[in-house]
Amino acid sequence: MKKLLTVAMAGCFILTGCLALGGCGGSGDSDHTIVFYSSQGQDLASQTATAIQKFEAKYPGWKIDHRQPGGYDEVLGKVRTDFTGGLQPDLAYCYADHVAQYIETGKVVDLGQYLTSSESYTYTVDGESKTIERIGFTEAEVDQFIDGYLEEGYARNFTGYEAVGLKEDALLTLPFVKSTELLFYNPDALKELGYTEPPTTWDKLWEICAKARSTWSTCTPLGYDSEANWFITMSEQMGFGYTSADPDNHYLFNNAEAKAWLTEMREHYEDGYITTQQIYGSYTSSLFAKGPAQGGLVFCIGSSGGASNQAGTGFTTEVAPIPGVDAEHSQCISQGPSLVMLTGGNGATNPEEKQIMTFQFIKELLDVEFQAKFAKASGYNPMREDVYEVASYKTFLEGKDPETGDKLTGKQLVVSKAAQAATQLTDRFFTSPAFVGSFTARIQMGTVMQYVLLGQKNAERALSEAYKACGGK
């Protein structure tokens, strides 16, 4: 059950002073400009611009400075660099691994103090008082937040939070939108091979891969877009261990079961069944679109957030959950950006005020109508259940254009199918423990997969060296 954190505060928040940009004292814009880092490209940034416009219209005198340093890793690197100069943003895209590296600064804000706060907040703009009637969400709204997504943000899922005075129920992140990995497949190729349904187990997938190779000699049946995700997912499905929150035993992956699985994958690679993003040199969706007769794939396992890239050429892409070991062991990874609030950056003299106002911007990003709009445009899953009741999004999930009612085609149809498939998987999602070093472990697992598949190192050596690289002894 989710724990709804409320804030006990005496009276309402009251602030008097100048909120106009470039206002009081020498603080300039920094006191009233909320800096937001994301990895959004131009298309998604244009969607977010509508939430920014709504926020700025609702709260005159406040501005959002939306910056895109690059991908997720670039956001992480920029935030870490910014900390050294006290220039950290007020809000940032994050993965749990990132936040594990931010905690020790003491600048990560407990969002739980605002989550369901019913307190009002009064401030002054140009001599006129303005009141925010409610700082937080209603409990009814928070009940709509998907439990699995919300749960991953609590401090109890991280290490090191006690050292900076946080409690285990502190809420360090809020989910924005989420994705998972899905099996994109070519139904025409399956039919030609004698199958009417996609594989639900890995054993069945390898059986189909063998037939595909014998039918199309230049075909590589399976492309997997994230080597690290593959290892981490299989550690969960097979139970052979990846990482642990135990500070005395963080790294579990150097074990006999992991070595056996990696060795088996090496054999499948030698048989010509597998390629990956790093081995191929690009996302394998580009191979998938070609079709097996042209040297492409039958299956591609990639992010639901990248579904638009999985549209086939000459066939209609279908989408299914990734295979499992069996029905009881079919976990799939939960990804996609969460939001972390950081305090005290850019020389602001009003950190508490900025936190409250930054939370108001978060509320715009998590608004049900905006979530529906963003999810439809991006292919990511919304973070709240009631989005699925928004008429336009329901129409989209039915494979129809919300504006015209016409059947979707091409990339938009694949995005719709991926969103439908992902909605059925929330009970299968898992997340890994986050701690200083978990990001390194993830990178190492991707490297291990490459070494072993390519035959550059055997599984025992690759895992042993990765363990040492992570600081294991």
Give the predicted TM-score (pTM) of the model. Answer: 0.86
Using one digit for the tens of pLDDT, what is the confidence trace for 164-205?
999 999 999 999 999 999 999 999 999 999 999 999 999 999
Task: Give the SS3 label for residue 404.
Answer: coil
pLDDT band at 473 (very low <50, low <70, confident <90, very high): low
Residue from 226, 224, 261 nearest 240 by CA: 261
Which amino acid, 198? P
Residue from 53, 67, 63 nearest 30 by CA: 63
Domains of the chain listed by start with CATH number: 13-176+337-376 (3.40.190.10), 179-334+412-469 (3.40.190.10)
Is 150's pLDDT higher than 70? Answer: yes
Is 6's pLDDT higher than 70? Answer: no
Residue from 72, 99, 117 nearest 172 by CA: 99
What is the mean predicted confidence (pLDDT) over 88-102? 95
Question: Pick the residue with more confidence: 22 or 187?
Answer: 187
Using one digit for the tens of pLDDT, what is the confidence trace for 449-458?
999 999 999 9
Residues 385, 122: Cα–Cα separation, whole Å: 31
Contact 210, 271 (CB under 8 A): yes
Is 25's pLDDT higher than 90? Answer: no
What is the mean predicted confidence (pLDDT) over 16-20? 37
Is 225's pLDDT higher than 90? Answer: yes
Q: What is the DSSP letter of 23?
A: -
Using one digit for the tens of pLDDT, what is the confidence trace for 412-465?
999 999 999 998 888 898 888 888 899 999 999 999 999 999 999 999 999 999
What is the mean predicted confidence (pLDDT) over 273-301? 95
CA distances from 417 to 221, 287, 321, 376, 385 (A): 21, 20, 11, 11, 18
Count the neighbouring beta carbons within 10 Å of the beta carbon of residue 256.
11
Question: Pick the residue with more confidence: 114 or 31?
Answer: 114
Contact 319, 184 (CB under 8 A): yes
